[in-house]
A and B are shown apart, each in its own frame.
Chain A
Amino acid sequence: MTAILFTNARLIDPEAGTDAPGSLLIRDGMIVSEADTQGADERATVIDCKGKCLAPGIVDIGVKVCEPGERHKESYRSAGLAAAAGGITTMATRPDTLPATDSPEVLEFVARRANKAAPVNVLPMAALTKGRAGHEMTEIGFLMDAGAVAFTDCDHVITDNKVFSRALSYARSLGALVIAHPQDPGLSQGAAVTSGKFATLRGLPGVSPMAERMGLDRDIALLEMTQARYHADQITTARALPALERAKVNGLDITAGTSIHHLTLNELDVADYRTFFKVKPPLRSEDDRQAIIAALRDGLIDIISSMHTPQDEESKRLPYEEAASGAVALETFLPAALRLYHSGDLELPMLFRAMALNPAKRLGLPGGRLSPGAPADLVLFDADAPFVLDRFKLLSKSKNTPFDGARMQGKVLATYVAGIAVYEAT
């Protein structure tokens, strides 16, 4: 029996909503109650946390690992090491690979690679339609049997309402979770930034924030029709929030996420065409950012994701319109999120609700909590330690972070998956 007793910790418990000093005992990869451990304690390794934060490991829905297809951008090994260094203990990976993860065979390849190479839990997601083309649904049943935790065409919007409604109905019959990207593809076609003064000043094609609300409105109508389990990957604009609230009040099985970049950056950060700030959907106005933070605080938005999207230098060193979208975020997720804590916007239990408990619940996982019986997936971190981010020190193969040179606070000291240290700061 292997046991570790974490003493003198600042325990961040998102379930109880508490942030208090305490100790935590884990044994055989599980969190156990200290009360029923009489006699076993003398064999437990004691780790003195020195007052630092101990929280459930982050559960990140929507990580892009570029296997199969573009291993030079990110492999399961590099992504796994980066996740461990970032305090992420579970990655739900995206199916927008080359080819798309749309068959049990590709999914099994992904799962096998992930288990061999990544030190953290990897749960692959599968495409909802074949080739993410929006025409025919994938073998949802077989894919679930092979381990798919959710179904998504990622940033491809299924425009054919008949196809999407059938896929939603079929997924519902199997209890499968469908993740969609709410966006009106007609309005957003060709857009590189959010429309408005900044877009006009830079001469870049913009998309109205209304496109997100239109996409969400459409999806909600289809949910009323099909009663499917649905998660919106990224809600980033104030305009979309009333529709989301109504859908929740009406009892639809809907949750919503947002990305760490939309919570901590705004459109002006693009400045002089800095392509590392090009993400999809594009960064929004400061008013939208504030509205999304408020929605997170109110629980209207449930989940924060890194939306980790590796891109090599060649895809980014292009004129802004031509440059690829996406940013790496596994290692900057926690320090970026802690900006919201240091600014006084969100308390730590609230942050870990959105980064660990809620995503675990939505995927039907036992983690994301500190209660006895939960897996000992934990992150020990110093919430205050300051540093300047150097992108070339990232463990991800791709270095396309918008936080290069940024002053940040919050360092991961150790990450545990099933009670085993997968990362320890030197």
Chain B
Amino acid sequence: MGFSQTHLLGIEPLSPADITSILDLADQYVDLNRRDVKHSDALAGLTQINMFFENSTRTQASFELAGKRLGADVMSMAMQASSIKKGETLIDTALTLNAMHPDLLVVRHPHSGAVDLLAQKVNCAVLNAGDGRHEHPTQALLDALTIRRAKGRLHRLSIAICGDIAHSRVARSNILLLGKMENRVRLVGPPTLMPSGIGEFGVEVFDDMREGLRDVDVVMMLRLQRERMDGGFIPSEREYYHRFGLDAEKLSFARPEAIVMHPGPMNRGVEIDGEIADDINRSVIQEQVEMGVAVRMAAMDLLARNQRARPREVLV
């Protein structure tokens, strides 16, 4: 049972075997990335286009580096500045790019489902780099790899995801992935930042940090967007930090060896205390960034292999 997908649009369609295949290959790429000569020819001759319809520095850099380390020809396009502003539809943009014969398309878009739509119209592998509040599969995969390396396993762990679950694609992908791998997932945050129907996802929901963190193995913090802070969803930044910001006292309720994660970029003093974020005994935030490159290399490598095995169809 290998990796069976032709696109990486989300965690939802992946099987546990798919997830394990990506993580196993990513482990090998971690080793490659730590060598002096960090290069493979796995994607040599292939073209990777990054289309970011939404601002991103970290994810875009990570995908770009991943492609380059595997020998692909990488082009990044900042789509906010391009033809989309001139009224071209997403599908026209996709068809235009498709005509340039890319092999891998990496797409981030502010609307949920936009990457699925695009994937229907092109004949190359599409990777979702985050769509609206739907999914961000490579983030969940890099989190999984980080957990697996730190804890030695990726099952039967107790994991708390804390903060703005409602608007977070990272949370959705993580809930799905951690559930598929048979972990206990807890969600912690104020009810205004919990999505509807969350009780049906097989998770436990807490609105108290201390209760929610009790005896967990992993504490996963989420970023709180600035625009949600003033009165709309929570009363104020300082009340949020008081009740839901991760500090040493709240973290003391978790297991002593519990790790602290954050997808970045962090708001120090809003959702996480600066000292915790920098504590090398607890925080694995830098490892997450490192794992990100390796996981993206693995995902693109596997997708490219499956694409090569598939007969090419011509879209008109």
Contact = CB atoms under 8 A, between A and B. Distances in A.
A121 to B, nearest CB: 39
A322 B132 CA distance: 12
Interface string A187-227: 00000000111111111101010000000000000000000
Which of A195, A273, A319 has the largest number of chain B CB atoms within 10 A? A319
| Residue in A203, A314, A322 with the greatest tally of chain B CB atoms within 10 Å | A203
Contact of A197 (B89, B91, B134, B197): B197
Interface residues of B, number: 24
Interface string B93-117: 0000000000000000101111011
A317 B91 contact: yes
Contacts of A321: 111-113, 132
Contacts of A317: 89, 91, 117
A22 B198 CA distance: 56
A196 B116 contact: no
A200 B196 contact: yes
Contact of B90 (A196, A202, A272, A318): A318
Contact of B111 (A206, A208, A319): A319
A197 B109 contact: no
B278 interface: no
B131 interface: yes
Of A202, A208, A314, which is in contact with the most chain B CB atoms at under 10 Å from its CB?
A202
B196 A199 contact: yes
Interface in A300-321: 314, 317-321
B172 interface: yes
B113 A204 contact: yes
Q: How large is the interface on A (under 10, 10 to 19, 20 to 34, 35 or more residues)?
A: 20 to 34
Contacts of A200: 172, 195-198, 201
B170 to A, nearest CB: 11
A196 B197 contact: yes
Given A198-B197, A203-B133, A318-B89, A272 B113 contact: yes
Nearest to A321: B111
B196 A195 contact: yes
Given A197-B201, A203-B131, A320 B196 contact: no
Q: B91, B113, B116 — which one has the most chain A CB atoms within 10 A of its CB?
A: B113
B112 A202 contact: yes
Contact of A203 (B89, B91, B112): B112
Given A318-B89, A321-B132, A204 B112 contact: yes
A215 B309 CA distance: 55
Contacts of B131: 203
B196 A319 contact: no
Given A203-B134, A203-B172, A319 B113 contact: yes
A248 B94 CA distance: 53
Nearest to B132: A203
A272 B116 contact: yes
Interface string B131-144: 11111000000000
Contacts of B111: 319-322
Nearest to A206: B196
Contact of B117 (A203, A204, A314, A319): A319
B12 interface: yes
A195 B197 contact: yes
Given A200-B172, A318-B90, A273 B197 contact: no
Contacts of B114: 319
Contact of B200 (A197, A202, A206, A319): A197
B169 interface: yes
A201 B133 contact: no
Nearest to B9: A272
A310 to B, nearest CB: 19
A284 to B, nearest CB: 13
A422 B156 CA distance: 68
A203 B169 contact: yes
Pick the 7 closest A-B CB pairs, nearest first: A203-B134, A197-B197, A273-B113, A319-B111, A195-B196, A203-B112, A196-B197
24 contacts: A197-B196, A197-B197, A197-B201, A198-B197, A199-B197, A200-B197, A200-B198, A200-B201, A202-B134, A203-B132, A204-B112, A204-B113, A204-B132, A204-B134, A206-B196, A208-B196, A272-B116, A273-B113, A317-B89, A319-B109, A319-B111, A319-B113, A320-B111, A320-B113
Interface of B: 12, 89-91, 109, 111-114, 116-117, 131-135, 169, 172, 195-198, 200-201
Given A206-B196, A273-B112, 11 more contacts: A197-B196, A197-B201, A199-B197, A202-B113, A202-B134, A204-B134, A272-B113, A314-B89, A317-B91, A319-B132, A320-B111
